[in-house]
Structure 1
Amino acid sequence: MAARPNAGTKGVPRADRERQILAVASVAFGTHGFVGTNVADVARAAGISKPLVYAYFGSKEGLYAACLDRAGALLGDEIERVARGDVVGLERGVRTLEGMFDVLEDQRHVWRLLHDRSAPSTPEVATVVAAHTDRIHALAHEGVSELLALAGVQDGLDVSAMTATWLGIVDSLMDWWVAHPEQSAADMVERVTRLVAALFTDAAGATR
């Protein structure tokens, strides 16, 4: 009997097998980087054959691109969830960071995967990076626009400059957190809340 097109191996549906491979590969790429990850090791950890990985993803670059897509969607969906809620201004920024910390609490390798300097710049990978970067930038621009509008600032260049600044702050905070594994998501939420209060509130408690 011929195998069904959507069949995986040993009775495992293809979609489930792909998720299994991506979960294992994401940890490998996020831990060892693209250059330090071997497809054979991924296959062995997933309990499948190396040819099957290539059959599903075409190449090591294809596997990496699929892992990037999965990771980008994970963070992008959480950021968008907060954006579509009822918070604005600084609270939206803090809630966004809180959501990111919560999502990555037990999988900080995802952040390292998304910022791997050894990643290839093939069209396949570049396309995935661009799509998720554009999505997150658009959400950040929206949030910053709301924040500045509350203060009566609507200049396009001001919004652009502040969006770049906000994205830099987020990247720096996440990098710091990933480098300090002893810090929990709850610890970071407390820290961010404390830092925002110190930066934007004076001793009398009045917003500057």
Structure 2
Amino acid sequence: MKIPRLRIGLLGRVAVALAAVGLLPLALVSYRLVQINREAMVEQVLRTHIVAAKTAAERVAAFLSARESLVRAAAESPELADPRSPGAQQLLVGNLQAWAGLGVLGIAVVDPQGQEVVRVQLTGDAPRRSVAAGLQAPGPSAGVAVVGREPLLLRIGAPLTAGKGALVLVCRGDPLLDMVQAEELGEQAD
């Protein structure tokens, strides 16, 4: 048995040809627009990530700069020429009280070899351990160093201008972790 062959008349063929001529460019343009849109979205996501990274870097820089400025200003104090004097003790205690809200756990004056000369710290066992660990960690006394991981601790120091050695503060670093978490970007930031 023969299967009947479908025959399209002239009008049908013209309609199919016109549809192909009309729809083919539309399909090509649609495909190209989807590609352009995808590229633009990827570029926008990359820009968003760059802005988030720059913002996080600026936050971290401001965090560290504020604490470095405090240490440098205090290190220039003439009272610290003799760190064991009552004036130096009063200065250190006053600074600790003023800076505790910034996460400062303790302040110490160290000699040029990094040995502790005098220290003031917040009360409690955890601050005492944190400050001791921060001061005993290897590395130069001046500048910024990460000296603890659990919890995150920073040691920030500046050379004394009125004496030999450095003024060092140990502070909590966990606010830095919050600054570098890009929660506003969601899962795309991972």
Common fold: TM-score over 0.5: no
Query: As a proportion of its length, which structure holds more strand?
Result: 2
Say which one has the larger Rg. Answer: 2
- TM-score, normalisation: structure 1: 0.26
Query: As a proportion of its length, which structure holds more helix?
Result: 1
- TM-score, normalisation: structure 2: 0.28
